[in-house]
Amino acid sequence: MEIATQYQPQNIENKWYAFWLEHNLFSSQPDGRKPFSIVIPPPNVTGVLHMGHMLNNTIQDILVRRARMMGFNAVWVPGTDHASIATEAKVVNFLKEQGIDKRDLTREEFLKYAWEWKEKYGGIILKQLRKLGASCDWKRTRFTMDPEMSEGVIDVFVDLYNKGKIYRGVRMVNWDPKALTAVSDEEVVYQEVQSKLYYVRLNMLR
């Protein structure tokens, strides 16, 4: 038998990935084995995966495959969109190109466009993960705005609030004047400037 001098992925990867899926080798159901699970930190539905996603998902795939080989009942749960702020920005830009202002839409109308965006680009992301050979249990795929997921998030936040673990208050935040929302420190591009430092004297006497 002649062995190719160069690796030809198109002749190997598609064949074996299809075999794995056909035989449900990535699916998992509770049984007597010790469980091992990983949930993909869902990539934003902003278009396509980038190198950071590739590295992150490769490491997860290695860990879950190793767990399977060690006899764990391992499952890798796929999902998309961990923070809809980035996705919303993409949808708003898309609408702008169509001559549509988000402020002219009702919530339901805007969500219709957002779901269409998710169906298009969320599908691309999942196809890319499959192309990478990701050993996810695809039947468990979830999206942040799926009703049961969204309801679960709300329930947890309400529970944490009632237990005093989180709170609402007036605080300094990173404010996005365009999206009119607060954003995390990770979304901020820091810039050093020469400015003034102000001190405020509070008179607590009445």
Q: 48-64, pLDDT tens digit by residue?
A: 778 888 899 999 999 99
| pLDDT for 30 | 92
Tell me which H or E stretch contains 170: none
Our CA angle for 52, 57, 59, nearest 5°, is 100
The pLDDT of residue 98 is above 60: yes
* 188 band by pLDDT with thresholds 50, 70 and 90: confident
The percent of residues above 70 in pLDDT, for the chain, comes to 92
Contacts of 118 (CB under 8 A, 6+ apart): 45, 80, 81, 87, 143, 145
| pLDDT for 82 | 59
pLDDT digits (tens, 9 = 90+) for 7-25: 888 888 999 999 999 999 9
The pLDDT of residue 197 is above 90: no
For 154, list phi and psi in degrees, rounded to 5: -60, -45
Higher pLDDT, 120 or 159: 159
Considering the entire predicted model, what is its pTM?
0.69
Per-chain mean pLDDT for the chain: 86
* Domain topology for 9-142: Rossmann fold (3.40.50)
| pLDDT for 205 | 65
Whole-Å CA distances, 201 to 14, 111, 198, 205: 68, 46, 10, 12
